[in-house]
Chains A and B, each alone.
Chain A
């Protein structure tokens, strides 16, 4: 029996906690939704990352250290994990890991944060042939199921990737306001996708994590998962090709970044599973400051 995926996520998060207070992540996640409830419950100590406007200044003045207002009956939010489980996800990421593993880690970290806030977590995943959706529920066992779903379907024998199919599925089938966490790769954005995202952005909060794809300029004769064609990376070593490649990749990244900026969607990139927790932290941070 392999170790549970949630367990792996938790251990990764605890490593991160050595460097930054884990509460910070919680605080960052907690402030993703504004105005959650007005039913005051009690006060708790401020942890970095909490929304400054939640600080009860009077109580703080009395107490001597910052205190945060807590509210009862916080409405359960829904975190919807959206990812691609097509063939692209079985490919190699920038630092040599499978992109799938990084995706599972990222989904797990945010899913786990949501569970700790007693939110429910759902999943929409799939490929160009269609999407599967798993209903939003709480509990680590459910999160484990979601992660296994992603882990099991993203393989080299999976159909080709097409993130638009998953995003359309979300747009079609979910009426309520949710937090969407999209994990994708270095796709090339187009106007249709941008319009679709604009439509989703109007309804939901969107967090976006990009998994950086392998650098094709390196030697090692990789093959393209899309058509099994061997890429002649040794040719990319020549000066003209590597310069053109650098320019093309920069343009592609700029096109994606431009789209996210126009849509006001917070986006970060991660090239390995070690980068996932810091990336999500800065993603939440950026999302908070983003507007």
Chain B
């Protein structure tokens, strides 16, 4: 189920990947269940679709990045102040739920799939892209409710991690082939412009480089 759903969701981006002589073994998620993984890969590819401007989130291995992040202290809420009581207040006073990112994903994905099933009789991953976009927009605009989690809270968590996965150093599992940086025009770890700072109007000629020395 996992493999099928994942491939279905990521089909377009897999096709646009450069050919490799030895295709790598598919990534096996450690945190997300097969059903959750199917949601995640499908949603990521809608948030950053492959198009004429560059690769999509699946080609950049954004789902892998998010799964790997779920094993870090951040995902357990270790960097957030998580002392009770949890009192809800106006939005501008910030996040006040007792849920760490791992909980937000568990509950949020279940909620998204429940809405997909109620409206369309199928899980999110099996819907047509236009229907997936409608559900994502519903979550973004806080029109869905997942128990005590406003859907926009889940959506913002997902979107933030998707952006991180596409544009962080590949050491964290995303931005495969430096595709995110190349699309944006960000040179990554070059980090030396002594000779370029005052070449006004000149095009910077060097491609991106990662912390590990990978170039694009």
Indicate, yes or no, whether A interacts with B: no
Q: Which A residues are within 8 Å of any B CB, using their own CB?
A: none
Q: Which B residues are within 8 Å of any A CB, using their own CB?
A: none
